[in-house]
Amino acid sequence: MNLKANLLIVSAFLLFFISGCDGSIFDSNKDVQIRIQNSSEFTLENIRVSFPDEEVSYGTLDPARSSDYRKVSKAYRYAYIESEIDGEKAVLQPIDYVGEDFLEEGKYTYRLYVTGESSQGEPIRYYLGLELKKD
């Protein structure tokens, strides 16, 4: 075969390969964006979310407020989340992520709610709950 024929075959192969791709290897804008919404009656202070590859600080959120979206490299439908309420730590502690898939590209809201319990003479212990919403 001559050089022109070889170039034609290689070009056809590359065109076929590229047209069969979903574009993800060429698209650097694919990302997951997560924001926090405070669906409780408490002010959540020093909110920190641990994603698989990074920890992100969301600051303080008053009741019924949402943070800005933050781009993260990977996220599940839930995460380890830590905050403070009236100086007391409030935590959402996942057991594991077995069987979970990463969220697909898009914008999501972690809606946080708070439950609390107290024993006689003990300070209230706060617990965070989470509901995922795809925006």
Q: Would you say residue 50 lies in a domain?
A: yes
Asked if the structure places residue 109 within a domain, the reply is yes
Per-residue confidence (pLDDT) for residue 26, from 0 to 100: 44
- The pLDDT mean for the chain works out to 85
pLDDT number for residue 18 = 47
Q: What is the pLDDT of residues 29-61, one digit of tens each?
A: 469 999 999 999 999 999 999 999 999 999 999
Which band of pLDDT confidence, cut at 50, 70 and 90, is reported for residue 119? confident
| 19 domain-assigned | no
Residue 6 lies in a domain: no
What is the total count of domains within the chain? 1
The CA–CA distances, whole Å, from 17 to 12, 14, 21, 27, 29 equal: 9, 5, 7, 16, 21
In a domain, 38, yes or no: yes
Q: Which amino acid is at 116?
A: G
Task: Flag whether pLDDT at 11 surpasses 80.
Answer: no
Phi, psi at 109, each rounded to 5°: -120, 130
Burial class (CB in 10 A: 0-12, 13-18, 19+), 60: middle
Average pLDDT over residues 107-116: 95
Q: Is the pLDDT of residue 6 over 60?
A: no
* 11-15, 27-31, 61-65, 123-127: least confident range: 11-15
The residue segments making up the domain with residue 51 are: 27-134
15 lies in a domain?
A: no
131 forms beta bridges with: 111
17, part of any domain: no
Please tell me the predicted confidence (pLDDT) of residue 25.
Answer: 46
pLDDT tens, 77-105? 999 999 999 999 999 999 999 999 999 99
CATH code, domain with 73: 2.60.40.2890
CB atoms within 10 A of CB 47: 22
